[in-house]
Amino acid sequence: MLFSSWTFILVFMPVALAGFFLLPSPWRDARKVWLCLASLFFYGYWKIEYVPLLLFSIGFNYAIAGLIHRWRGRPASRAAMVTGLLVNLLMLGYYKYTNFLVSSLGIMAEQPFPEFDIILPLAISFFTFTQIGYIVDVWRDPKLHYRFLDYSLFVLFFPHLIAGPIVRHWEVIPQFAPRDLRVSRTDLGVGLAFFLLGLYKKLLLADPMAHYADTIYGAAAAGAVLPWFDAWLGTLAYALQIYFDFSGYSDMAIGLARMFSIKFPCNFDSPYRADSLGEFWRRWHMSLMRFLRDYVYIPLGGNRRGLPRQAINIGLTFLLSGFWHGAGWTFIIWGLLHGAGLIVMLLWGRFTAWCGWKLHHWTYRVACVLLTFVTVLFAWVFFRAPDVPTASRVVVSMVGGHGLTLSENTTDPQDAAGRALSGLGFRFVPDVAGILPKDYTMAIELVLALLLIVWALPNTQQLLRRYDPVLEDHIRPSLLQLKLNVPLGLALGVVFFFVIRQSFTVVSSPFLYFNF
Amino acid sequence: MEPTRGFFLSLALGLLAAMGIFIAVFQLHLGAGGNVGVRNTVEIIARKEAFAQAAPGTRILVVGGSGVLFGLKAGMITEATGIPAFNLGVTAGVGGKYIMHRVAQIMRPGDIVLLLLEYDLHDTGTGNFPDWIDPYFIDFMTQGDPDYLRAMPWRDQLEIAMRQTFRALRKGIQARFKPDKSTVDERFYTAENIDQHGDMIRHHREEKPPALRTEYHGDPVALGVMDTEGGGWPDVRDFLALARERGVRVIAAYSNVADDSAYAAPEFGEKVELLRRFYAGLGVPMLGSATDAFFPGADVFDTVYHPVHEAAVARTQRLIELLLPALAWDEKSTPEPQIPSTPAPGS
């Protein structure tokens, strides 16, 4: 069940909210039990066969945490933690990486091996990482102990179960106290506003871009030599699709949780406005990066053991990030590209400091934002392409390996624009992606409009900053802020209708992060 | 800071107002005729049905999508068999279920239905609402036959309403207040191009518009998923049961389609065999072979389903040779074939 499907919006969400609101608050666990059951239904609706796996994972990790807690101060505590880690990683490895390993071995042996019939359980990467974080924290602080119901709700809570944010126990479980798990007008209002704005981003901004990205990357996957313009257009379309898809998803998750009076951490903070890759990763999928920083990068030594070791730690962390996103060489290359970019940024930072340069002029910052964006775009090529040869073909076209070419469908080579482009050295070639002339116009207009939104408009947490929408105290200020009043209510009501309507036209468009 | 008291009420009001306006606009655009293609299809159907209904006694009703409209000549069948034949083929965009629904309205005991449904009208995901959602289908239901829409289950109606485009709504509203009489349609689907047998008359090789005189690059539409429990298959079963109940004889044949090298693959052979067994299981003979209905790529008029007139004549001639012996067979002399409620092809 997708957050953006009408079954979720019109049936599941109202029933889950009604149950939560109607259950008597004096019975302190009733609302938690209700939320656990609703979350299990939500997960099982996709594939009920994997509900036992999820329940086993929760029971196992809670038991391991209990053993660590009981054996605190003894070597057995460490053994329990290591066992917990290994079982979690083996489970994730079996479901997610077995076939990747088999196919890679086949390539090395130059003889394909038959792959196993394994269906990746939805959200396994998310609930495994969430719980790995928990057992490591219990090992670090063995006094840590929660009730099983609280722990179960922490893992199961449906707003984050499928695609994050990867919440931490100390961020969420304290909010399960009966006095906090209450019905509040502010929570409901802020939650609804967040949810609707997220839904709007997903259905009306992200999904229309998918068509162009899919068409162009589909042509590249079929072996077509993409014109230079198509390669950029397809990659920009995908960059905007995944931006609004994940931004929309994060807003919806935060909004849903808030309706049930739970605050989530910020997960997405206008990352394409970042002026360095480091800042990009402090703004994109923030909860994953916090996890990798705290449980991978810092334990590896972080920046405490000299520059070469720091570079290696960055590389390893982003290699793991790529591998976490998907079992494939394209994801590994994507992670390594970001790792390499960050190392270059690190060296550049040291170099400018050594030279004593003060680079604070706004033109330098604009150039940095553009350079970061272009670097991220090239990395997205590997993230989106189904295989490395396809990605290579797209990159070659983007860097002008086949010349500065445009499809004949982009614009008529004989009209004024066509002649001007020819004069600038562009060459028109036959269409390969099957995009009609009117679709090119639409795609270009959409890309420009969405880039304007990305770079010029505040994000959702900035818009609703006055209501403390997320756990973080500091939200970047913005000139434009919304007030939950009658005009906004009317506008959101109209938006609600349009997103419901749109949910009928999107037959199957899962959030991109559901794949991970 | 709390939301103001009016926030939730105004949110509900905004939602209700938007819904109300949308429902009003949708109702107003129903049947207004904002789509010229739909208007033409409605006129074509009306013209064909009027000719067929005017004929007394036994008739041969040739049924299918636009593969029949362009690919068969009912006039030739009339001449060869001595039985008045009518080409009831219409654009497959209206869906197989609707095509058969219209035939069911006019068929009489003693009629013979020659059924040549397109391959994709049988398949999963096509030819059956709501698996198959096509803008033309939605336009046709809203503009062409709103009564049929109103008779649909409420969930299908809701789905169609929600999927209707704003452009179509705008054109519908415009047409409601300022009726558009234009019949210009780039696809030649106009009632003026239909003769008294329902045959298309304007698709000779030399009439092919210059824009369509391009080389055929292949489009193996006849390949696809074969799941006889989904898609349009149940609708075909229902139609055959209804025909039998009404004393209408049904003979099936393969749909016209441009030849393609992809059809040499074993998958196509399996598909054809499944189709044959499906109809045989329902007691309906299948005339000839799939290759009888192929026409060369050079004879494509505008789509792979539409041959030029010359190829349609050749195809009809082949079909008549197969049809005559089938018509001579006396149904009453042999035991009546049983129609299983859920036939399993190949069983």
**Mind telling me the catalytic residues of A?**
325
What are the chain B neighbours of A487 within 8 Å (beta carbons)? 10
Model pLDDT, residue A256 = 95
pLDDT at B340 over 60: no
- Alpha-carbon span B280 to B346, nearest angstrom: 9
Determine, for residues B8 and A500 on separate chains, whether the beta-carbon distance falls below 8 Å: no
- Alpha-carbon span A101 to A85, nearest angstrom: 20
B190-232 pLDDT per residue, tens: 888 889 999 998 888 888 766 665 666 667 776 765 666 667 7
| Partners of residue B60 on adjacent β-strands | B85, B112
Contact A271, A459 (CB under 8 A): no
Binding-face residues of B in 94-123 toward A, CB within 8 A: none
Max avg pLDDT among A115-124, B23-32, B176-185, B262-271: B23-32
Mean pLDDT of successive 10-residue segments in chain A (516 residues)? 82 93 78 93 89 94 93 88 93 87 83 80 88 92 88 94 88 84 86 93 89 91 91 96 94 94 93 94 93 92 89 93 87 94 92 85 91 96 94 94 88 85 88 81 93 94 92 86 92 90 67 57
Determine, for residues A501 and B159 on separate chains, whether the beta-carbon distance falls below 8 Å: no
- A-to-B residue pairs, Cβ atoms closer than 8 angstroms: 83
Q: How far is A292 from chain B (nearest CA, A)?
A: 35
Of B1, B15, B22, the CB nearest to A493: B15
Determine, for residues A190 and B3 on separate chains, whether the beta-carbon distance falls below 8 Å: yes
Cβ of A223: how many Cβ atoms within 10 Å? Answer: 10
| Amino acid sitting at position B162 | M
Chain B interface test: which of A464, A468, A494, A506 (most B C-beta within 10 Å): A494
Model pLDDT, residue B126 = 42
State pTM to two decimals.
0.78
Burial class, B106, CB count within 10 angstroms (exposed 0-12 / middle 13-18 / buried 19+): middle
Determine, for residues A489 and B14 on separate chains, whether the beta-carbon distance falls below 8 Å: yes
What are the chain B neighbours of A14 within 8 Å (beta carbons)? none
What are the chain B neighbours of A497 within 8 Å (beta carbons)? 14-15, 18-19, 22
What are the φ/ψ torsions at residue A98 (nearest 5 degrees)? -60, -50
Determine, for residues B17 and A493 on separate chains, whether the beta-carbon distance falls below 8 Å: yes
Fill in the DSSP letter of residue B58.
-
Chain A interface test: which of B5, B10, B124, B155 (most A C-beta within 10 Å): B10
Model pLDDT, residue B160 = 87
Nearest-Cα residue of chain B relative to residue A189: B3
Query: Taking residues B143-164, what's their average pLDDT?
Result: 88
Contact A199, A497 (CB under 8 A): no
- Alpha-carbon span B99 to B121, nearest angstrom: 10
B126-135 pLDDT per residue, tens: 444 555 567 7
- Alpha-carbon span A243 to A383, nearest angstrom: 13
Structure confidence at residue B343 as a pLDDT band (50, 70, 90) = very low
| Partners of residue A429 on adjacent β-strands | A407
Q: Does B22 touch chain A (CB under 8 A)?
A: yes
Residue A122 or residue B59, greater confidence: B59
Binding-face residues of B in 136-165 toward A, CB within 8 A: 158-159, 162-163
Chain B interface test: which of A485, A490, A496, A498 (most B C-beta within 10 Å): A490
Q: Does B314 touch chain A (CB under 8 A)?
A: no
Nearest C-alpha neighbor of B193 from the set B297, B83, B306: B306
Nearest-Cα residue of chain B relative to residue A465: B1
Determine, for residues B14 and A498 on separate chains, whether the beta-carbon distance falls below 8 Å: no
Model pLDDT, residue A4 = 79
Q: How far is A60 from chain B (nearest CA, A)?
A: 42
Angle CA A333–A334–A335, to nearest 5? 90
- Alpha-carbon span B254 to B128, nearest angstrom: 19
What are the DSSP E strand ranges found in chain B? 60-64, 85-87, 112-116, 249-253, 257-258, 286-287, 294-295
Cβ of B266: how many Cβ atoms within 10 Å? Answer: 7
Q: How far is B197 from chain A (nearest CA, A)?
A: 38
Q: Does B23 touch chain A (CB under 8 A)?
A: no
Chain B interface test: which of A504, A506, A509 (most B C-beta within 10 Å): A504
Nearest-Cα residue of chain A relative to residue B22: A497
Element (H, E) at A427: strand A427-429
Residue B72: strand, helix, or coil: coil
DSSP A201-212: IIIIIIHHHHHH
Of A467, A492, A500, the CB nearest to B11: A492
Model pLDDT, residue B129 = 53
pLDDT at B261 over 90: no
What are the chain A neighbours of B10 within 8 Å (beta carbons)? 485-490, 493
Element (H, E) at A60: helix A51-70
Model pLDDT, residue B330 = 53
What are the chain A neighbours of B18 within 8 Å (beta carbons)? 493-494, 496-498
Model pLDDT, residue A23 = 83
Structure confidence at residue B187 as a pLDDT band (50, 70, 90) = low
- Alpha-carbon span B119 to B96, nearest angstrom: 10
Angle CA A238–A244–A250, to nearest 5? 130
Read off the tokens for B117. 């449904």
Nearest-Cα residue of chain A relative to residue B1: A467
Model pLDDT, residue B226 = 62
Q: How far is B4 from chain A (nearest CA, A)?
A: 5
Determine, for residues B10 and A489 on separate chains, whether the beta-carbon distance falls below 8 Å: yes
Of A185, A485, A494, the CB nearest to B14: A494
Model pLDDT, residue B268 = 85
What are the chain B neighbours of A490 within 8 Å (beta carbons)? 10-11, 13-14, 17
Read off the tokens for B56. 């007394």
Determine, for residues B7 and A496 on separate chains, whether the beta-carbon distance falls below 8 Å: no
- Alpha-carbon span B334 to A72, nearest angstrom: 87
The whole-angstrom distance between residue A444's C-alpha and the CA centroid of its chain comes to 25
Nearest C-alpha neighbor of B158 from the set A500, A14, A9, A11: A500
Nearest-Cα residue of chain A relative to residue B135: A505
- Alpha-carbon span B219 to A476, nearest angstrom: 54
DSSP A210-268: HHHHHHHHHHHHTT----HHHHHHHHHHHHHHHHHHHHHHHHHHHHHHHHTT-PPPP--
Find the distance separating the first CA and the last CA of chain A, reported in whole Å. 16
Per-residue exposure over A133-145, b if at least 16 CB sit within 10 Å of its own CB, e if not: bbbbbbbeebebe
Determine, for residues B2 and A504 on separate chains, whether the beta-carbon distance falls below 8 Å: no
- Alpha-carbon span B172 to B179, nearest angstrom: 9
Burial class, B35, CB count within 10 angstroms (exposed 0-12 / middle 13-18 / buried 19+): buried
Model pLDDT, residue B225 = 59
Of B6, B22, B159, the CB nearest to A489: B6
- Alpha-carbon span A141 to A148, nearest angstrom: 18
What are the chain B neighbours of A508 within 8 Å (beta carbons)? none
Most distant CA pair in chain A, distance: 81
Chain B interface test: which of A13, A436, A484, A498 (most B C-beta within 10 Å): A484
Fill in the DSSP letter of residue A96.
I
Contact A35, A160 (CB under 8 A): no
| Amino acid sitting at position A267 | N
Residue A14: strand, helix, or coil: helix
Of A491, A495, A497, the CB nearest to B19: A497
What's the per-residue H, E or C state across A442-471? HHHHHHHHHHHHHHHCCCHHHHCHHHCCCC
Most distant CA pair in chain B, distance: 87
Percent of chain B with pLDDT over 90: 38
Q: Does B131 touch chain A (CB under 8 A)?
A: no
Read off the tokens for A265. 């951490």
Determine, for residues A504 and B22 on separate chains, whether the beta-carbon distance falls below 8 Å: no
Contact A416, A206 (CB under 8 A): no
What's the per-residue H, E or C state across A319-381? HHHHHHHCCCHHHHHHHHHHHHHHHHHHHHHHHHHHHCCCCCCHHHHHHHHHHHHHHHHHHHH
CA dihedral A350, A355, A360, A362 (to 10 degrees): -100
Contact B198, B66 (CB under 8 A): no
Model pLDDT, residue A59 = 96
Element (H, E) at A382: helix A362-384
Contacts of residue B153, defined as CB under 8 A and 6 or more positions apart, other chains included, come to none
A66-70, A473-477, B22-26, B327-331, range with the lowest pLDDT: B327-331
Of B2, B10, B162, the CB nearest to A186: B2
Which residue in this structure is represented by tokens 């997610």?
Answer: A96
What's the per-residue H, E or C state across B158-227? HHHHHHCCHHHHHHHHHHHHCCCCCCCCCCCCCHHHECCCCCECCCCHHHCCHHHCCCCCCCCCCCCCCC
What are the chain A neighbours of B163 within 8 Å (beta carbons)? 504-505
